[in-house]
Amino acid sequence: MDHYERLGRELVQKGAIIDYYQDTIRVPNGNIVKWDLIKHKGAAAVVAVQDDGKLLMVRQYRNALDRETLEIPAGALDTAEEPTKVAAARELEEETGYKAGKLELLISLRTTVAFCNEKIDVYVATELTPSRQHLDEDEFLNVESHDLDELIQMIFDCKIQDGKTVSSLLAYKQKYCR
């Protein structure tokens, strides 16, 4: 046997954002194993570039880490079928209070491939115009503006550790700031 075969998938818990499954898999040596799977409907994120070159970031509390983090604006898709560009524009406005005149796909990420199917498409937003911030009732965040070099240094000082933010800022620097 030289392949993997899914023998079954059981929904263990249905959540508001994720669904937790346990898969039964036959591995290449013939053994039967149980693997966890977290299904996620997907997300979109934004590297929001102001006219002066500074980037809009959001500082918010993250329960899994029990602390605040500094991240690029992002959020889950409303449905798995929602275009990520639509979600990126919505999340930018909801979280920062700015609209983008231009959105360009930067990168697509798979956040945790060992046990989760989450995909995040990251866009670069430019031509920003002030609008109105509308946070969800459970969102409490502060919008900050930072120089890219300052943010890159925060990555290497281990002050920014969020995977989507780290990869997106480094990709932005590589593509747009040579």
Residues with active-site annotation: 137
Residue identified by tokens 């194993």 is 33
CA dist 51 and 115 (Å) reads 39
151: closest CA among 142, 162, 140? 162
Rounded to 10 deg, the angle between the 163-176 and 148-156 helix axes is 130
Q: What is the CA radius of gyration of the chain?
A: 18
Q: How far apart are CA 90 and CA 43, in angstroms?
A: 11
**Beta strands 32-40; 67-71: pairing state:** unpaired
Nearest to 47 by CA among 177, 169, 157: 169
Q: How many Cβ atoms sit within 10 Å of the Cβ of residue 70?
A: 18
Helix (H, G, I), strand (E, B) or coil at 40: strand
